[in-house]
Amino acid sequence: MAKKSSEKNIAYRRLFIAIELEDSIKDHILSFQKELKNSVLGDVKWVERENFHLTIKFLGETPENLIDDIKSILDETSYYFEPFYISLEGFGAFPSLKSPRVLWIGIEEGLDGLEKVFDFIEKRLVKKGFRKEDRPFSPHLTLGRVKDRDVRILKDLLFDKEVVLVSSITLFESKLTPEGPIYTPIYRVNLGKK
């Protein structure tokens, strides 16, 4: 959400909505990331284990007075959707493995459920003044961000399938520091609240 010049005295927080992962899944991802580090030549900023997550919607710099609206949207989402499963599998890069900028693990099974959750949240956020996504929803788990254009991946790797139960959705605050981002959960809802 872009800051407006008339909103000088409003406090902003950098926010995103995501799916948290269990520790056992984070451990599996970390093991794959370590293998990948040994197969990549070049400068990559690797995501720390505690920051592994699946982003549903990046909100950016958000006025604090909209946080209650976001919480209400998440509450509504929790009543509308039951828990569902997705599978993390495969490995890729944006825009491509030949010229990678972001290294990621993909989503295979359950993608339609994730897209429905995204659409539900997105429509309600747009009504509150948030910008609609320009790009199609492309859920993935970021492993690292490439810092130079000469990065090469030396061997083909594949992330073994990991099934994830999506039973909650979390609103996070992201604080950028020289050591890397710090993600703090500020609101969580469990799916299937009937």
What order do you get walking across the sheet with 44-46 strand by strand? 44-46, 140-146, 100-107, 84-95, 162-166
Active site residues: 53, 140
From first to last of its 194 residues, what are the pLDDT tens digits of the chain?
544 444 568 899 999 999 999 999 999 999 999 999 999 888 999 999 999 999 999 999 999 999 999 999 999 999 999 999 999 999 999 998 888 999 999 999 999 999 999 999 999 999 999 999 999 999 999 999 999 878 888 778 889 999 999 999 999 999 999 988 999 999 999 999 86
Calculate the CA dihedral of residues 112, 117, 55, 59 and round it to 10 degrees.
140
Please provide residue 138's backbone torsions phi and psi, each rounded to the nearest 5 degrees.
Answer: -135, 75
The domain spans of the chain are 12-190
Q: What is the pLDDT of residue 4?
A: 46
Q: Is the pTM of this model over 0.95?
A: no
CA–CA distance from 162 to each of 42, 88, 147 (Å)? 28, 5, 28
CATH number of the domain located at residue range(s) 12-190 in this protein: 3.90.1140.10
Q: What is the pLDDT of residue 5?
A: 41
- Both structure tokens of 58: 């990046």
